[in-house]
A and B are shown apart, each in its own frame.
Chain A
Amino acid sequence: TQLLEQSPQFLSIQEGENLTVYCNSSSVFSSLQWYRQEPGEGPVLLVTVVTGGEVKKLKRLTFQFGDARKDSSLHITAAQPGDTGLYLCAGGTDSSYKLIFGSGTRLLVRP
């Protein structure tokens, strides 16, 4: 069974601070997606990474896919209250259309 573990589960930080969320597995994935979900809404896709070692930037967010395609990280620089939400990583394989979701990281950015 493929599992994705996210850490930390919950993070409360002050506006302006930096943070990193981790997504780890013992399995290899062909793709890794990151989503952000706000209360009462569906997840919104932030990024997809498919190549080992790949780094993508989305404004203050930096995403990295591990060289072995087993792990990923999301780094937020100078967090803002608008970054508050549930961050989910999800891994995909070529053998299935399904995504394996991590347990999620709940981020609270205090003004």
Chain B
Amino acid sequence: GAVVSQHPSRVICKSGTSVKIECRSLDFQATTMFWYRQFPKQSLMLMATSNEGSKATYEQGVEKDKFLINHASLTLSTLTVTSAHPEDSSFYICSASWRGGYEQYFGPGTRLTVT
């Protein structure tokens, strides 16, 4: 149980375009979803927390207009990187948890490359 999927697993886009990444909880209802960014050989950096049906809470230094997060249902959250630039190239990982649970379950990640 507790399976989280992400799509796409890899994406290459041109500078200035927007990219949408989907995160789905496959076998449970995720009341809260998280989006992380990970740089090579480093730990996870939390970008934002989203609860179903409400606006996402962004961490300090993360531009909410650049990284649009939507959590429209208990099984789906999306991250849209708008007007992507090469410095946005990174590994993006989502996770999901349910109300009252300590654990977060992670998706397999999305490798974004902006050319």
Contacts and interface: CB of A to CB of B under 8 A. Distances in A.
Which bracket fits the contact residues of A?
20 to 34
Q: Is the interface of B mostly helix, strand, loop or mixed?
A: strand
Contacts of A44: 106
Contacts of B46: 98-99, 101
B43 interface: yes
Interface string B71-115: 000000000000000000001010101000011111111010000
Interface string B1-20: 01010100000000000000
B32 interface: yes
Contact of A45 (B43, B44, B103): B103
B102 A50 contact: yes
Nearest to B40: A39
Contacts of B2: 45
A42 B103 contact: no
B43 A40 contact: no
Contact of A41 (B34, B44, B97, B108): B108
B49 interface: yes
A78 B91 CA distance: 32
Interface of B: 2, 4, 6, 32, 34, 41-44, 46, 49, 91, 93, 95, 97, 102-109, 111
Interface of A: 30-31, 33, 35, 40-45, 48, 50, 88, 90, 92, 97-99, 101-104, 106
